[in-house]
Structure 1
């Protein structure tokens, strides 16, 4: 069984683009969530050793997900993938425990160095 990876975005297209940007040889088991509530559920079920998280979603935002995961122990590598590139947003996600912030649109060129930096992919 591969590494549990969760892709969280309210946009089906954005989730598909992110999944397509993942390295083909990476041994992962991918789950998807279209909102923050489903993301937290998947996290609690152990399906998010690595989580790619959008910030702007209706209902429970990415910030809310980060706060919840942090309050429950934060044992997931959370990489925020968002179009919200304001310095305040980047600082806030780091303070809440995200390991990295990748600007949308996602690409393999942006994603691979982050995965390598954290030892998630060689």
Structure 2
């Protein structure tokens, strides 16, 4: 049975890049959201096995979405994909419960490695 994967990013181009980088040897049931609020709503609705979350988005940013998602499911597997690789941002998302941070744009190898480490492949 394919794992449900939610991609939350305001950039359609980024979402397309992420989908292109997913391991070809695994099948995922993909869901997408264009901002943190929509992502949180879809997260509650579909209960994904994993979430790939951007930080800088309109309506609700990734920090707030991450915090709210962890309130809904404290065991949620959330990988932050961000171009904001400042130490402060990294420490904050890890404190909020992210499983890991992968710099954007992700490489196929980094995304495959992250998904494997988080038990999604």
Determine whether 1:87 maps to 2:114.
Answer: no
Number of residue pairs aligned between Structure 1 and Structure 2: 121
RMSD (Å), alpha carbons: 1.2
Alpha-carbon contact 1:50-1:77 (below 8 Å) kept = yes
- Partner of 1:106: helix, strand, or coil? coil
Instruction: Quote the Cα distance in structure 1 between the aligned partners of 2:73 and 2:46.
Output: 13
Instruction: Quote the Cα distance in structure 2 between the aligned partners of 1:44 and 1:34.
Output: 15
Alpha-carbon contact 1:31-1:47 (below 8 Å) kept = no
C-alpha deviation, 1:105, in angstroms: 1.1
Instruction: Quote the Cα distance in structure 2 between the aligned partners of 1:47 and 1:119.
Output: 16
Alignment CA distance shift 1:70-1:119 (3 Å): closer
Unaligned runs of 5+ in 2: none
Pick which of 46-55 and 81-90 moved more.
46-55
TM-score, with length taken from structure 1: 0.93
Unaligned runs of 5+ in 1: none
C-alpha deviation, 1:47, in angstroms: 4.4
TM-score, with length taken from structure 2: 0.94
